[in-house]
Amino acid sequence: MNIEQFRSRRVTRRVRFAVAIGAAVTACTNAPKSEQRVVVSAASAGTAYTVRDTTIVAAFDAAGVAAPIQQATLSTKLMGTVVEVLVKEGDRVTAGTPLLRIDARDLTAKSAQAAASITEAEAMQRDALTQANRIRALYADSVATRAQLDAAETGLARAQAGLEAARAVGSELSAVSSYAVIRAPFRGVVTKRYVDAGAFAAPGAPLVAIQDVSTLRITANATPEVARYVHRGQKLAATIESTALGATVEGVVPSLAGNMYTINALVPNGNGALLAGSTATLALPTGSRVALVVPAAAIVREGDLTGVTLRTAGGDERRWVRLGWSNGDVTEVTAGLHAGDQVVLPPPRLTASAEK
């Protein structure tokens, strides 16, 4: 064999080897992702879970907003100078807590005048009652005339009316004076203070805003076909800013926007961890269907890919799958698995104390 023949054989072997590798790469690349497998180990740690057909309640995710259960912007009926603002934004207050004070010295003076008027009217009413009783006795003994009795009764009625009028003025001034101190109508968080000390408060002008976020109300819209499966008191799955939780339906009412229904659901928020105004979704049931579900712990994520560890007779291997509906505990697999397949659940993580 000469040198030229030896070189020709080496080139031929290299071409055949490159073609074989290219064919293998092409075959792997063209395979569907759901069928791509990567061997992990002969038997990885964890327990096996057998995938079965499961009847699940199909749901429609209706987008909405989580609003506070109560919110109010407080104002006053008075016109005067703000003397003191007692709270700051973010302060937590209880019902009845003073939030703001308005100068009401003129009302104090008027209240004193009203109290004096009530005292005078009470004295006049007592005097008129005494006079009427005296004339009644004289009239019974035929000493006083009918005209004198009528005059005494009229004087008593006028005195009684004057007393009631004076008391009404006092009650009105007392009610108006209560607007000099703005109090929290319910327990909540101060979200906005519109004025500072020295500002002028006018009737109806906003002074302080407060929200009760101990419970959040999720409001979402749905079509009649979806709304007919929802009723008051029903428990629904919900999410607020990617946090899965439970919600209770407060009511289902017709919406103002065409052929739609508004669904309100309440979510407890006693610790205030969830923020009002966050985006939210309600999982509205639309019937039931059969699906393959796996525990959420079995899902493996690598970038945008989702998969599971599949247990086979030849060892454990990675199987990329397509996911569907999820409630946080279990997740639907729409492609990549079949009933009877076994997926591996990773062992629970040990706490720091257990590891020690």
| pLDDT exceeds 70 at position 201 | yes
pLDDT above 70 covers a percentage of the chain that reads 84
Torsion sign, CA atoms 155, 157, 158, 159? positive
Compute the average pLDDT of residues 217-228: 91
- The answer to whether residues 139 and 248 belong to one domain is no
| Per-residue model confidence (pLDDT) at position 44 | 63
Asked if the model's pLDDT at residue 4 lies above 90, the reply is no
The arithmetic mean of pLDDT across residues 22-43, rounded, is 45
pLDDT at 1 over 60: no
Q: What confidence score (pLDDT) does residue 323 get?
A: 86
Do 263 and 152 lie in one domain? The reply is no
Residues 65 and 53 in one domain: no
- Is residue 142 classed as helix, strand or coil in its secondary structure? coil
**Which residue shows structure tokens 């006795």?**
137
| Position 288 confidence tier, pLDDT thresholds 50, 70, 90 | confident
Whether 121 and 187 map to the same domain: the answer is yes
Residues above pLDDT 90, as percent of the chain? 41
pLDDT over 70 (residue 116): yes
Q: Which segment of 9-13, 227-231, 325-329 scores lowest on mean pLDDT?
A: 9-13
Q: Mean pLDDT: which of 4-8, 92-96, 168-172 is highest? A: 92-96
pLDDT at 113 over 60: yes
Residue 159's pLDDT band (boundaries 50, 70, 90)? very high
Give pLDDT, residue 310: 87
Bigger pLDDT: 43 vs 314: 314
CB 346 within 8 A of CB 299: no
- Bridge partners (DSSP) listed for residue 201: 80
Calpha distance 57→291 (Å, rounded): 10
Q: Residue 55 pLDDT more than 90?
A: no
Q: Which domain holds residue 171?
A: 82-201
Mean pLDDT value across residues 130-156: 91
Contact predicate 344/44, CB 8 Å: yes
Classify residue 43 by its DSSP letter. S
Same domain, 46 and 65: no
Question: Do both 257 and 294 map to the same domain?
Answer: no
Single out the residue in 286, 312, 330 at which a domain terminates: 286
How many Å apart are CA 197 and CA 260, to the nearest integer? 47
- Cβ pair 135, 146 in contact under 8 A: no
Q: What does the buried/exposed string (b/e) look like for 206-239 if buried means 16 or more CB atoms within 10 Å of the residue's CB?
A: ebbbbbbbbbbbbbbbbeeebbebbeeeeebbbb
Residue 11 placed within a domain: no
Q: Do 115 and 175 sit in the same domain of this protein?
A: yes
pLDDT(12) > 50? no
More confident site: 226 or 289: 226
The pLDDT-based confidence of 178 (bands split at 50, 70, 90) is confident
Give the pLDDT confidence of 268-280 residue by residue, as tens digits. Answer: 998 888 999 999 9
Model confidence band, residue 51 (pLDDT cutoffs 50, 70, 90): confident
C-alpha 332/C-alpha 160 separation (Å) is 80
Last residue of a domain, one of 153, 180, 201: 201
Q: Which residues of 120-143 are buried (b: 16+ CB within 10 A; e: fewer)?
A: ebeebbeebeebbeebeeebeeee
DSSP assigned state of 349: P
Residue with tokens 């096996």, as numbered in its chain: 48
pTM for this model (two decimals): 0.57
Least confident of 29-38, 138-147, 193-202: 29-38
DSSP 45-109: SSEEEE--EEEEEEEEEEEEEEEEEEEEEE--S--EEEEEE---TT-EE-TT-EEEEE--HHHHH
112 and 195, same domain (yes or no):
yes
Average pLDDT, stretch 178-192? Answer: 91
* Domain identity same for 331 and 301: yes
**Which bin fits 44, alpha (ψ -120 to 50), beta or left (φ > 0)?**
beta
Instruction: Please determine, for residue 294, whether its predicted confidence score (pLDDT) is greater than 90.
Output: no
What CATH code is carried by the domain that includes residue 344?
Answer: 2.40.420.20
The count of structural domains within the chain is 3
Looking at residue 257, its pLDDT comes to 72
Cα 102 to Cα 54, 87, 112, 283, distances in angstroms: 65, 14, 18, 48
pLDDT score, position 57:
74
pLDDT-derived band at 43, boundaries 50, 70, 90: low
Does the residue 13 lie in any domain?
Answer: no
pLDDT number for residue 233: 94
The mean per-residue pLDDT over the stretch 245-266 comes to: 90
Q: Give the DSSP H or E segment for 173.
A: helix 146-177
Q: Residue 2 falls within a domain, yes or no?
A: no
Q: Which of 246, 269, 286 is the last residue of a domain?
A: 286
Binned at pLDDT 50, 70 and 90, residue 69 comes out as very high
Which regions of the chain does DSSP assign to beta strands (E)? 37-41, 47-50, 53-74, 80-85, 92-93, 98-102, 181-183, 188-193, 200-201, 208-222, 235-240, 243-254, 261-268, 279-295, 300-302, 305-312, 315-320, 322-326, 330-335, 342-345
